Structure 1
Amino acid sequence: MVGKHIELFLVDGEPGGITTANVSGWTGHVLAGPRTALTRLLARDEAHRNGVYLLLGEDPESIDSTRCYIGRTEDFSMRFRQHDRKKDWWDRAVLISSKEDSFNEGHWGYLEARLVDIARRAERSSLPDNLQTPQLRKLSEAQISDVEAFLDQIHGILPVLGVHVLRTATGPEPEDRSDPVLSPVFTLVVPRRGVEARARVIGEEFVMLAGSHVVGAWNAAGRSEQTRRAYDSYRARHAKLVADGSIVVEGAIGVLTRDVPFTSPSTAGAVATGAACNGRRSWKTDGMAYGDWENRDLAVDQPSAPSPIAGGL
C-alpha cells in the first residue's frame, strides 16, 4: 500500500475554520470552510477560479445525516453569493480548483457529473438539489485520464477533511490476508434470530457487507434511562436503513442490499442483532475475536522479572 502526503493548513489556526488541502505534485487545490466564514472564504484568490464545489448541511434522514449539493462554476465568489440567498440549509463549503488553471469548462463539467454519480451510488448523503445527474462532457481519452487521476486525489483528501459523501466500500475479502494493513472479513452469527452478518474494517470505519442477514425489526427495550437512550439510537439507525432500502425486510429477517459503514463494531453488532452487543467479542474471523485481531500487534512477550539474589541483601 502506497502512502499519501496530504498537506493541511488551518488558516484560522483552529479545527473547523477555513482549511486548505494540497497533495505534493498535484495540480489541484481544496479550500474548505464554514458558512460563518463565507465572507473571508470568498475573499481568497482561490474563490475566483473555475472549479467544482460541495455544499454540506444536516439531514437526519440520510445514512450519515448529511445533505449535499454538488455544483460547478467559473467563479466561486459569484456563485456562492447566489447560493447564500437561495439555499439556507448548508453550513459548510468545499471548493475544488486547479492551481494552474489547467482544466477548462469541459474538464470541470465531466468532473461534476462524476462526483454527482459517485455520491448517488455511495448513498451516504441526500442530494435533493441535484435532481438529475449531469451528462458527462465529451473529452478525449487523454483528458478523461487526467480528470480521473484528479478525481483519485479528491477521494483521498475529502475524508481527511471529514467529508465522506463520496466514500464507498468494497465488499470482497482481500486475496492477500497476510497484509497487515488489510482487514479480514469478520462474521457475527446468532442462529435463533436468523442473524448471519459479515463485515470488514475499511479506513476508520467498520463496514457491514451487502448480503448480511440482520434482524427485521429492532424491538429491544432498556430498563435504565441511559440504556433506553442507547436503544432508541440503535432502533432509529435500523429504521433509517430500512426506510432508505439499505435493509430489505423479508419476514423476520432483514438483508443488507449494500455495504453500510458504522463507527464501531458494537454499533454494527447492535443494529444486526437487535440487542446491545460487545462488538469486540462478538465479531470473529477464523475463531479470533475482533478485539484480539485489533490488538494482535500488542501481544508481545514481556521480559520476565529478574530472579531475586539468593540470601537477599
Structure 2
Amino acid sequence: MNQGRSLRLFLVDGTPNGLLTAEIMNWTGHVLTGPRSKLAELVQRPECARTGVYFLVGPDPDDNLRTRVYIGESDDVAQRLKQHNRLEEQGGKDFWERVCLITSKDLNLTKAHVKYLESKLIGVAISAGRCMLANGTAHEYVGLPESDRADMAFFLEQIRTVLPVLGFDFLRELIKPSSPVVESDGLAIQHSPRFRRAVPKEGGVAYAQEIDGEFFVLKGSQARAQWSGVSGGYESLFKQLVLEGVLTPDGPNHMQFADDYAFRSPSAAAAVVSGRSSNGRKAWVVDGTGQTYAEWQNQQLVGLAPGTDNK
C-alpha cells in the first residue's frame, strides 16, 4: 500500500477563493497560490521577494477546453508578476487567471536551482501533454553539481505531488493503458477490466479502461463519423478531437482513435463514441460479461461492512 502523506493548507484570508499556502511534512518547499484578482495582495507576501519558480494558469484563448500554462523563474517573483500583469501589447500576458509560486522555507534555493527546476518542469509539462505551454523554446539547464541535481529531483517530485491537490493537474503523468505496467512503492498500478461500447447504428465498437481515476478510450477504437446529437454538451469536445487528429477517418461511417485518450468521465467518452449525449455508467459494459460500468463499480463495495477500513 502506498504510504500516506500529510499536506498542510492555510487559507490566508479565511476564504476558499483567496490566497492559499501549502506545505508537505519534511519538505522545505512552500507553495503560495491565488487568483489574479488578488495579485495586489499576493505580491506583498514575503514569499514573492524570494527566489522561486512560478506558474501562470488560465484557459487557452485558442481552445477553451484546454488549459494554458506559463512556467517561469525569478529572483524577485513579485516584479516578474507585475510585468506579466501588463497588457499583452505592453509585454504582459492576458490569458492567466491564477498564479502558483514555489519557494523554499529555508531560503536555500538559488538562481541556478530555479533555472534547473524551470527547465525540468517545462519538460514534464510537455511530456504529460495536459496543457498548452505559453513558453517559447526552452533549453535544458545543466549547470548544477550532481548532489544539487539529486536534491532538485526530490524537490520536483514534491511539486508534482502537491499541485494536483490544489487543482493544477498539468504535471501529472499520463499513464496510458498501452504503456508498460509500472510500479509505485512496490505496487503495480491497477487497471480496471476492459469496457466495451458499441457504436449505435453503425456497427463499430470502442474499448476503454480506467487507470488512476481517468477513463481511457483505447487506440483503434471506433466512434461515429459525425456528431448527430443536439448542439452543445460534448459536441465541442468531439470536434476538437477530430481537429487535433485524435479521431481520424475510418471508412464512411466511423472515426478511429489514433491513440489512447483520457476522458474526464465515462459519459464524456460514451458521448464522443456515440456522437450524441450518453450515460456512460450504463453505456460501457465489461467486455465478456455485459456488466455495466455502474454495476462493476458498485461491486467493489459488495462485502464491505459499514465502517470497514479495508486494510
State TM-score, norm by structure 2: 0.83
Contact 1:245 1:257 in 2 (8 A): no
Say if 2:194 is the partner of 1:190.
no
* Matching residue of 1:166: 171
Contact 2:195 2:285 in 1 (8 A): yes
Which of 77, 97, 105 aligns to 1:91? It is 97
Q: Which structure has greater helix proportion?
A: 1
* Matching residue of 1:293: 296
- CA 1:136–1:233 in structure 2 vs 1: closer, same or farther (change >3 Å)? farther
The count of corresponding residues between Structure 1 and Structure 2 is: 289
- CA 1:301–1:245 in structure 2 vs 1: closer, same or farther (change >3 Å)? closer
Structure 1 gap ranges (5+)? 222-227, 303-313
Deviation beyond 6 Å, 4+ runs, structure 1: none
Larger Rg: 1
Contact 1:63 1:124 in 2 (8 A): no
Provide the C-alpha distance between the structure 1 equivalents of 2:217 and 2:112, rounded to a whole number of angstroms.
38
Q: Deviations over 1:184-204 (max 9, x none)?
A: 14322426442322221423x
Give the 5 Å matches for 1:92-241. Answer: 92-127=98-133, 129-172=134-177, 182-190=190-198, 192-203=202-213, 205-209=214-218, 211-215=219-223, 217-221=225-229, 228-229=230-231, 232-241=232-241
* Matching residue of 2:257: 255
Amino acid at match of 1:188: R
Q: By how many angstroms is 1:79 displaced? A: 0.8
- Identity in percent: 36
Structure 2 gap ranges (5+)? 87-91, 306-311
- CA 1:166–1:208 in structure 2 vs 1: closer, same or farther (change >3 Å)? farther
Provide the C-alpha distance between the structure 1 equivalents of 2:304 and 2:100, rounded to a whole number of angstroms.
48
Say if 2:18 is the partner of 1:8.
no
* Matching residue of 1:58: 59
Provide the C-alpha distance between the structure 1 equivalents of 2:159 and 2:141, rounded to a whole number of angstroms.
18
Provide the C-alpha distance between the structure 2 equivalents of 1:146 and 1:268, rounded to a whole number of angstroms.
40
Amino acid at match of 1:249: P
Provide the C-alpha distance between the structure 2 equivalents of 1:122 and 1:180, rounded to a whole number of angstroms.
20
Provide the C-alpha distance between the structure 2 equivalents of 1:273 and 1:140, rounded to a whole number of angstroms.
54
Q: By how many angstroms is 1:277 displaced? A: 2.4
Provide the C-alpha distance between the structure 2 equivalents of 1:48 and 1:157, rounded to a whole number of angstroms.
22
* Matching residue of 1:309: none
Contact 2:247 2:255 in 1 (8 A): no
State TM-score, norm by structure 1: 0.82
